[in-house]
Structure 1
Amino acid sequence: MTNVEFFHYLLLLICGAGALTWLADRIAIPPAVVLLFGGCVIAIAGKRVPQTDPDLLLAAIMPPLLMSSSFYTAWKEFRGELGTIVSLVLGAVTFTTVAVAVTVHTVNPALPWAACFTLGAIVSPPDAVAAKAILQRYPLPARLVAVLEGESLVNDASGLLLYQMAVSAALAATITFASATGLFFELILIGIIVGLLCGHVMCWALPRLGEPMLGIVVTFVMAWASYGIAEAVGGSGVLSVVTCGLVLGIRQHRVFSADLRIKAKATWEAVVFILDALVFIMIGLVLHEILARVNHESAVVMAGLRVALPATAAAIVARLVWVLAAVWLPSRLRARRSGGEAWSFAEAIVMGWAGMRGVVSLAAAIALPENFPGRDVIVFSTFLLIIATLVVQGGSLAPLIRWLKLRPAARHTMSEHEARAHSFGAALDAAKDMAKQGPHIPRATLDRLIAEYKVRVTANKGAHLTGGLRIEERAQLLRMELELVGVTRGALLDLHRNGRVDDAVLHRIESELDFEEMRLIRLLEP
C-alpha cells in the first residue's frame, strides 16, 4: 500500500467512524463498541488492511487523548479522592494481576507461570481512552467520575512495572525487589517531573504568543513532546502527559485568553472525536494481523479461547472484589467511626464494573518479544479480553446504572443561577463604584450600561449617526463593560477557588464570559 493509498484508506476510516458513531447514537449503544465491531468486520472482510503499529498508536494518538482527558479533570474531586485512586492504581492492579495469573494457570497448567503473570499484568490496568469514551455518556456522581477517570489516567506505571517484571522473569533476566522498586519510582517521578516542566513552560509561553492559532498548535505539540521526552529519559510518558494536562487545566483560567479558549475548545473537540474513533477502529483492525498468525496454527485459536475466557472472568471478578473489600467496606467503617461520606453500594458496583481495557493493553501484548513463551496465545487472549470488557461491561453499564438508580449527588455547591447572580452582582457593584468616581462618566452612559439589552440596541443603531462624540461615548461604554466582564470573571474564579462552585458550573459560565469578552473586543476594534 503506497502512502497515497494509505492516506485515502485513513480518510475512509474517518468517514466510516463518523457513520458508525451516528449509528451508535441512533441505536443507543456506546460508540466504542460499534466502532470496535466495525474495525473487526474490516479486519475479517478486508483484503488490504494496513499493518497497525501499537507504538505508533501510543506515541501519536494517545498523548492528545490523555491531554484532553486530564485537562478537563475536576482537580478538586481528583485530589479529594486521591486515597481511593491510589488504592485502585496500586492494589487493584496488583490483585487483578495475581488473580488472572492464578486462574489462567489453573485452567492451563501447561502455560508457564511467567507467561500467566505477564498476561495478568497486561490486562490489569483499565484504559483511559476506553473509560472516557464509555463514562462520558452517563450522568454519574462527580466523585465517582473523578475516581474512574483519575485511576485510568495514572495506573499505567504500576501495570508497566508488573509487566516488565513478568517479561524479565520469563526470559530468565535478573530482577530484584530493589531494582523493581527503583524502576517503579523512576517511572513515576521522571514522568511527573517532565510533565510539570512541560506544563509550566506551556503556561509561560501561551500568554506571550498572542496569536490563538499558535497557542493551539503549542498545546498539541506539548502533548506529544511531554510523552516523547519522558519516554526518552526513562519515565512514564502517560504520567507525563497527564501531569502536563492537569497543570494546564488548573491554570487555564488565568493563562488562556477568551479567544484562545473558545478556538482551542472547538479545535480539540474535533480532533479528539477523530482520534477517539480511530483508536477503537484500529483495535479492531489488529484482528487482521492476529488471524494471519494464528491461521498457520489453528490450535492457537482454541488455546486462546481457553486462556481468554478464564482471564476475562478473573479480571472482572477481581476488580469487583477489590472495590467492595478495599474501597466500599473501609469507607462504611470510617463513616460510622468518624463521620464523613461513605461510598454507596451502587457507586461501588459501578466502580467495580467500569474496568474496560483498551489500546494500552493491546500495545503491551503486541510488544512482547517474538521468542516469549506463549506469545501468540497471550496476544490473541488479550484481544478477546479487550472486546469482552468493552462489549460486556461497556455495553451493560447504562442498564446497570438505571437498575441501580444511580444519579449525580445533590449539590453541596452553588447552582449555576446562584453563581451567575453572585458573579454579575460583583460587576453591578463595580458599575455603582464607577458612578462615584466623578462627573467624567455621563449618567446616561451608566444607565445604559445597567440596562444592557437597551444599550446594545441604541448604541449600535446610533454609533455612526451622531458624530465623534457619540462614537467616543460608545467606546467608553464598551471599555467599561469589558472591565465589568473582568470583575465578573474574577468573582467567579474566587467562588471556585473557595469551593463554592464546581467545575461544571465554572466552565459553563466562563464560556459565556469568553463570548461576551470577544464581542466587546471586536466592537472596540477600529
Structure 2
Amino acid sequence: MNNVEIFHYLLLLICGAGALTWLAERIAIPPAVVLLLGGCVIAATGKRVPGMDPNLLLAAVLPPLLMSSSFYTAWKDFRRELGTIASLVLGAVTFTTVAVGVLVHAFNPGLPWAACFTLGAIVSPPDAVAAKAILQRHPLPTRLVTVLEGESLVNDASGLLLYQIAVAAALAATITIASGTGLFFTLSLIGIAVGLICGQTLCWVLPRLGDAMLGIVLTFVMAWASYGIADAIRGSGVLAVVTCGLVLGVRQHRVFDAGMRIKSKATWEAIVFALDALVFILIGLALSGIMARVNYDVGVLMAGLHVALPATAAAIAARLVWVFAAIWLPSRLLAKRLGSQPWSAGEAVVLGWAGMRGVVSLAAALALPGNFPGRDLIIFSTFLLIIATLVVQGGSLAPLIHVLNLRPHARQTMSEHEARARTFGASLAELEKTSKHAPAVERATFERLQAEYRIRVSANENAHALGAERIEDRARFLRIELKLVGVSRETLLNLHQDGKVDDEVLHRIESELDLEELRLLRLLEP
C-alpha cells in the first residue's frame, strides 16, 4: 500500500471501530473485546493488511493514552495507595515473569530459559489501555479503581525493563543482578525527571499562550515529546509521560481557564476514543502477519498452543496468587494494628482477575530481534495470550463484579449538593461584603445577584438535607430551564434563517446556550 491507501485504510478502520463500539454497547459486551475480534475477522479474510511497526505503535499511540489516563488520576488517592500499587508494579510483574518462564519451560524443555523468561517479561504487565477501556464502564470501590488505574500507568516500565534484561541474556550479553538493578533505577529516575521538567514547562507555558487551541495542541505535543526525550536519553518513556500527565492533572485547576478545560476535554475524549479503537483493531489485524510468519504450518501452530496455554494459565494464576498472598492476606492481618480498612475477598478477586494484556505486550514481542531464539513461537503465544485475557477476563469482568456485588463505598467527603451549597455560599458572602461598600446606584445590581445566589444556596442545602423528594423538585425545575434553553436555540436559528441574525452573532449566542445546556445536564446527572 502507498501512503494514500494507508490513510484511507485507517479512516475505514476508525469508521468500523465506531460501528463496532456502537454494536458492543447494544449487546452489553466490552467494546475492547468486540474491536479485537473484529480485527481478527478482517485479518482472517485474507485482505492485505499494512505492516505494523511496533516501535511506531508505542511511540505514536501509547503516549496520548497514558497522558489522558494520568491527567485524570486522583493524585491524593494514588499517593494513599502507593504501597499496593508498588507491590503490583514490582512484585506481581516479577513474580508473573518467573511463573510464566518456569511453566513454559516445563512444558517446552527445548525452548531456552532466556526465551521463556523473555515471554514472561513480555506478558507480565497488564495493559493500561485494556484496563481503562474495560474498567471505566463499571462502578467500583474507589480504592480498587485507584490501584488498578495507578498500576496500569506505571507497570509497563517494570515489565519492559525485565524484557530488556531477558533479551540481553538470551543474546549472550553479560548481565548481572547489580547491573539489572542499576538499569531499573536509571530508567526510572531519568523518566521521572524528564516528566517533571516537561510537566512544569507545560504548566508555565499554557497560561501565557492565551489561545485554547494552541494549548490543546501543545498538550498532545508534550505527550509525545516527553516519551521521545526520555527514550532518547535511555530513560523510561512510559514513566516520563505518566509523570508529565500527573503534574498537569494536579495543577490543571490553576493552569487551565474554563474555556480551555471545556475544549480540551472534548478534543482529548474524541482522539483517545479513536486511538483506543485503533489499538484493539490493530491487535486483531496483527493475526494476519503472525499467521504469514508461521506459514500456516499446523505443526508450528500446535507448538504455539503448547507454549501459549501454559503461559496464559501461569499469567492469570500468578497475579491471583500474588494479590491474595501479598495484598489481601497482609491487609487482613495488619488491619487492627494499623487501623486501616482491609481488602475484602471480592475486591481481591476483581483486582487479581483484571489482568488483561494488550498493545504493549504485542509491540514488545514484535520488536524482538530477528535472530532471537523461538521468536515466532513467542510472538504467536503472546498474541493468543492477549486474546485469551481480553476475551475471557475482560468479557467476564462485568458479570463477576455483579455476582460479587461490588459497589462504591459510602462517600466520606461532602456530597455534590453540600459542596455546591458551600461554594455558592462563599460567593454570596463575598457579594454581601462587597455590596456594603458599593455606591447607591449599584445597589440594585448587587441585590439581584444576592437573590440569585441565595436561591442556589437554598436549593443545594435543601437537596442535601431533605433527601429524594426535594431533589426531584429541583430536577423538575432544572428540566424546565433546559426546555427554555431549547426554545431559545430554536428561536435563534429561526432568526438566522430569516436573515435577521448574522453568523457571528449566531455563533456567540449559540455558544452561550451550549454552555448553559451543559451546566443543566450536569446538574441533572444522578
TM-score bracket relative to the smaller structure? 0.7 to 0.9
Aligned length: 464
SS in 2 for 1:155: helix
Shift of 1:389: 0.4
**Whole-Å Cα distance in 2 between the matches of residues 340 and 2 of structure 1?**
60
Paired residue for 1:446? 446
For residues 276-320 of structure 1, give each alpha carbon's deviation from its aligned partner in whole angstroms, at most 9, with x where no partner exists.
Answer: 000000011111100001126432211110111111011001000
Shift of 1:339: 1.5
2:328–2:348 contact (8 Å) kept in structure 1: yes
**Whole-Å Cα distance in 2 between the matches of residues 221 and 52 of structure 1?**
22
Paired residue for 2:355? 355
1:97–1:117 contact (8 Å) kept in structure 2: yes
1:125–1:357 contact (8 Å) kept in structure 2: yes
Paired residue for 1:487? none
Paired residue for 2:319? 319
Paired residue for 1:16? 16
**Whole-Å Cα distance in 1 between the matches of residues 339 and 251 of structure 2?**
33
Matches within 5 A, 1:160-175: 160-175=160-175
SS in 1 for 2:248: helix
**Whole-Å Cα distance in 2 between the matches of residues 140 and 83 of structure 1?**
20
Structure 2 portions without partners, runs of 5+: 456-480, 489-515
Shift of 1:172: 0.9
Question: Residue type of the partner of 1:150?
Answer: G
Paired residue for 1:153? 153
**Whole-Å Cα distance in 1 between the matches of residues 441 and 319 of structure 2?**
66
Is residue 101 of structure 2 the alignment partner of residue 104 of structure 1? no
* Identity among equivalent pairs (%): 77
Paired residue for 2:73? 73
Is residue 259 of structure 2 the alignment partner of residue 248 of structure 1? no
Paired residue for 1:276? 276
- Deviation >6 Å, runs of 4+: none
Question: Residue type of the partner of 1:38?
Answer: G
Paired residue for 1:129? 129
Question: Residue type of the partner of 2:324?
Answer: L
Shift of 1:428: 0.7
Matches within 5 A, 1:388-467: 388-440=388-440, 442-452=442-452
2:101–2:113 contact (8 Å) kept in structure 1: yes
1:126–1:152 contact (8 Å) kept in structure 2: yes
Question: Residue type of the partner of 2:79?
Answer: R
Do the aligned partners of residues 436 and 101 (structure 1) sit closer, same or farther apart at CA in structure 2, a change above 3 Å counting? same
1:36–1:280 contact (8 Å) kept in structure 2: yes
Question: Residue type of the partner of 2:81?
Answer: E
**Whole-Å Cα distance in 1 between the matches of residues 102 and 35 of structure 2?**
32
For residues 331-365 of structure 1, give each alpha carbon's deviation from its aligned partner in whole angstroms, at most 9, with x where no partner exists.
Answer: 11111223211111111110000001001001111
**Whole-Å Cα distance in 2 between the matches of residues 171 and 265 of structure 1?**
46
Question: Residue type of the partner of 1:19?
Answer: A
For residues 477-502 of structure 1, give each alpha carbon's deviation from its aligned partner in whole angstroms, at most 9, with x where no partner exists.
Answer: xxxxxxxxxxxxxxxxxxxxxxxxxx
Do the aligned partners of residues 441 and 287 (structure 1) sit closer, same or farther apart at CA in structure 2, a change above 3 Å counting? farther
Shift of 1:441: 5.5
Paired residue for 2:344? 344
SS in 2 for 1:365: helix
Shift of 1:512: 4.9
Shift of 1:168: 1.4
For residues 452-491 of structure 1, give each alpha carbon's deviation from its aligned partner in whole angstroms, at most 9, with x where no partner exists.
Answer: 399x99xx9xxxxxxxxxxxxxxxxxxxxxxxxxxxxxxx
Structure 1 portions without partners, runs of 5+: 461-508, 517-526
**Whole-Å Cα distance in 2 between the matches of residues 365 and 171 of structure 1?**
15
For residues 416-450 of structure 1, give each alpha carbon's deviation from its aligned partner in whole angstroms, at most 9, with x where no partner exists.
Answer: 00100110010010111012114356221112112
1:89–1:151 contact (8 Å) kept in structure 2: yes
**Whole-Å Cα distance in 1 between the matches of residues 282 and 258 of structure 2?**
36
Question: Residue type of the partner of 1:30?
Answer: P
Query: TM-score, with normalisation over the residues of structure 2?
Result: 0.86
Shift of 1:268: 0.5
**Whole-Å Cα distance in 2 between the matches of residues 72 and 88 of structure 1?**
21
